[in-house]
Homo-oligomer: A and B are copies of this chain.
Amino acid sequence: MRPLKTYSLAGSWSIRVTNDLSLLVRHLEAHAPLSPEDRDAIMSLPAARQTIATSSYLVREGEPAKTCALLVDGIVYRQKITGAGVRQIVSFHLRGEALDFQNVFLGCADHDVRALTPVVLMIIPREQLLLMIRKRPAIAHAVLMSVLIEASIFREWIVNVGRRGGEARVAHLLCEYAWRMDVLDPGKAEYEFPFTQEQIGDATGLTAVHVNRMLGLLEEKGFIRRERRLLRFLDIHGLRRTGDFDPAYLHGNAVLDGIL
């Protein structure tokens, strides 16, 4: 967890490098209690660190899956391209998340995964991961929880894109970003915000041009302030109200500790 050193690749995203799999332990433990042996099993997974440049592909649609990546630092997003050639971004991922459960299990990717910033990964071979999950029910359970929460986020995105106006859509996205960043790095009122307006548009089903106007609106109303690559949240409550944001769908502290 503790940063070894910080440097930056092309672009302005600063990278924190950690040298182990404890991020994965943390991520899974947030969803289900693990025994010391479970933790050891995760920590002794074979894994190779890899660094990836902005906008390159971690996975391409149609590719068979041979590995599972853990996101150590940076931001990653999933996209699908329609027959008409337009893009929809269907999710983004922050430090600490496992990126490829779907592909590992379904075998073939139905979407692309790309780096939004320079990204650091731990690459875990698919078979090792499957074996571990098979042997350790608690880990299997944590993986299931992680997948269920991601599905819940997908549902909320359907609502966002399907039934909210432009202003609310981008406000909602910003709220989700703020919320999820806050979990990683609590109590800050501002965060690096490396999304381009085109990417915001592709995530909200809007045009880059329209996103620009909506961001202007939100700034004008005093909810946010943009300064270079930094986004400052001046009135998070106002933003939540206009974005109709209720963080319940993120299932922040969903840990099923009883029976399983």
Contact = CB atoms under 8 A, between A and B. Distances in A.
Closest 9 CB pairs of A and B: A162-B205, A154-B154, A83-B244, A161-B162, A151-B151, A88-B159, A88-B163, A90-B155, A88-B162
A101 B151 CA distance: 11
B144 A143 contact: yes
A188 to B, nearest CB: 26
Interface stretch (A4-12, A37-45, A125-133, A177-185): A125-133
Given A137-B140, A163-B87, A148 B110 contact: no
Q: Which residue, of A78, A161, A162, A246, has the highest number of chain B Cβ atoms within 10 A? A: A162
A156 interface: yes
Interface string A60-89: 000000000000000000101011101110
Contact of A134 (B107, B108, B137): B137
State how many copies of this chain the complex holds: 2
Interface stretch (A212-220, A225-233, A252-260): A252-260
A48 interface: no
A88 B254 contact: no
A155 B204 contact: no
Interface string A155-189: 11111011110000000000000000000000000
A159 B244 contact: no
A145 interface: yes
Contacts of A131: 259
26 contacts: A82-B163, A84-B163, A87-B163, A88-B163, A90-B158, A102-B151, A105-B144, A106-B145, A106-B148, A106-B251, A108-B248, A110-B248, A110-B249, A127-B259, A134-B137, A134-B259, A137-B137, A140-B141, A143-B144, A147-B147, A147-B148, A150-B151, A151-B151, A157-B158, A158-B161, A162-B205
A152 interface: yes
A149 interface: yes
A81 B147 CA distance: 23
Contacts of A27: none
A16 interface: no
Given A110-B156, A143-B144, A154-B154, 18 more contacts: A86-B163, A88-B159, A102-B151, A105-B145, A106-B251, A107-B256, A110-B152, A110-B155, A110-B248, A131-B259, A134-B260, A137-B137, A137-B140, A144-B147, A147-B147, A151-B154, A154-B158, A162-B204
